[in-house]
Amino acid sequence: MSMHAARMWMMAGALAGAAGTAIAQNLFVVTGTGTSVPTVNVGGSSLIDLIDDAVNTQGQFAQFQAVDSTFALNYGGVADAIVVTKNAGNTQATIQLLGQPTRTFTGVNQADLENQIENYLKKEGSNDLTEFFKQVNQRSVIGVSDGNPNATTARMAQFTFDKFGFFADQFKAYSLRPGEAAPAPEPTQGSDGGTSERIAMEESQQSGVGGLVRSKAGLQFSLAASGSTFDVGNFSGESATIASSLDLNFSERVGLSLGSFMAYNSVEDADVFHGAFTLGVPIRILLPDGTSRDGWTWQLTPHATAGGSASEDIGAGGLVYGFGATSYLAWHINERWTLAMSNQFSNYQGEKLKFDEYEIDPGVDQSMLKNGLRATYRFSEQWYAYAGAAYTNFLDDAAIESWITGTAGVGYSTRAGTGVQLGVVVENGDDYEALGGRLGVSLAF
């Protein structure tokens, strides 16, 4: 087949993002069968390379050069996710995407056949591809956009949950600073025998003058880095994330947060890239009384997130946007102990990405719940330790429906909001486990 024909078949395979049972830890396996030739199984970690060899009948597929052939692509635990047939003269072909009807193409010559397939991939087949991606996300443990802990939707949800929920205490609504010394009240002798003087002194102390004064925290910049190794299905990989945010408090009650993250993960030898931006409006419904940490904090944050992912090796990705809300409720038992509960609901949708007349839709239509509990103990005014766990649940169909994240660590923070935090993170779910660490730094201005 010509190189242009190869590109068409490669596009079909790349858009598929599909595959099946791994052979010797290979993400992708192409099974080629043909008339009067032996069956061939070829595995690898680059979908495009495998499709290129298959449709050009080169390398281990050379025996299919001039025979009627069938190529079945398997990926990530999904068998026969895409099946392509062609005749020996390259004038007739069929394409069957996972869960979709078989599409048949017949041309008067090879060039005509190529044009029909190209038009299908660019236009008529866009709905088929969207539904196909949705099936892949629901069945493959290494889906790029959705359906597992390393997918784009899971990473977007984790970012907002950490930011506005689980680690919300890193981002201050107010700061406590020393106040100026109060002038001693003039001694008076009244009919109450000194009671007026005592009340005046108590009011002076309660106002914070000469002690701690609470004021708006203002501007805060934060940076966090995390990394992990994981096993998912029959595959292993590594992941790294860098996240940043800029927080501005208009008052103690209302603020504005702009955040972003960039993430990379590899599965076997396949590379995947993720990124997103988030806008949140933290609303503090409850704050501790006075100038101490004792009391209750309740923060509710509506947020919007837009991002996406891409993987040339897996041949999948696309744009994703989402909306949600995160609740952070903390009981400051005393100066030492704090118990906090975080809850988040979010919904994510895929958005079509157009390039070179093609349209790619990741097929995302997902809602998620995240619920967590955390305890913090302060050794001193600045030093503390924390431990907690969170449960993540995909509400719509997913390859890995839920998992638990446990974390523990130590930190240093000032009352103004500048600090550093270091912790270890462990995750466990059905056919999934990960071990990693997290480092966070906050600077208050």
Question: What is the DSSP secondary-structure string of 26-74?
Answer: -SEEEEEEETTEEEEEEEES-HHHHHHHHHTT-GGGGGGTTS-EEEEEE
Pairing of strands 295-311, 316-332: antiparallel
Share of the chain above pLDDT 90, in %: 45
pLDDT of residue 321: 97
Place of tokens 């895409």: 82
Which pLDDT tens digit goes with each residue over 407-435?
Answer: 999 999 987 789 999 999 999 999 999 99
Domain boundaries, the chain: 3-139, 152-173+217-444, 180-215
Task: Determine the residue type at 372.
Answer: G
The predicted model gives 42-52 an average pLDDT of 76
Q: What is the pLDDT of residues 274-288, one digit of tens each?
A: 999 999 999 999 988
pLDDT band at 17 (very low <50, low <70, confident <90, very high): very low
Would you say residue 350 has pLDDT above 90?
yes
- The closest of 21, 9, 45, 40 to 311, measured between CA atoms, is 45
Which range, 25-34, 173-182, 188-197, 401-410, is most confident?
401-410
Task: Look at the pTM and tell me if it is higher than 0.75.
Answer: yes
Own/partner pairs, 375-379, CB within 8 angstroms, 24+ separation: 375/337, 375/338, 375/339, 375/340, 376/169, 376/337, 376/338, 376/339, 376/340, 377/336, 377/337, 378/335, 378/336, 378/337
Pick from 95-99, 139-143, 147-151, 246-250: least confident: 95-99
Q: Which has more pLDDT, 242 or 360?
A: 242
Check pLDDT > 90 for residue 338: yes
pLDDT at 163: 96
Please return the burial class of 391, using the count of CB atoms within 10 Å of its CB with bins 0-12, 13-18 and 19+: middle
Closest CA to 344 of 369, 373, 374, 372: 369
Instruction: Look up residue 177 and give its amino acid.
Output: R
pLDDT of residue 93: 83
> What are the Cα distances from residue 110, in Å, to 62, 368, 424?
19, 47, 57
pLDDT at 334 over 70: yes
Q: CATH number of 152-173+217-444: 2.40.128.130, 3.40.50.920, 3.40.50.12160, 3.60.20.10?
A: 2.40.128.130
C-alpha 445 chain-centroid distance: 29
| Residue 184 clears pLDDT 80, i.e. is over it | no
The predicted structure's pLDDT at residue 339:
97
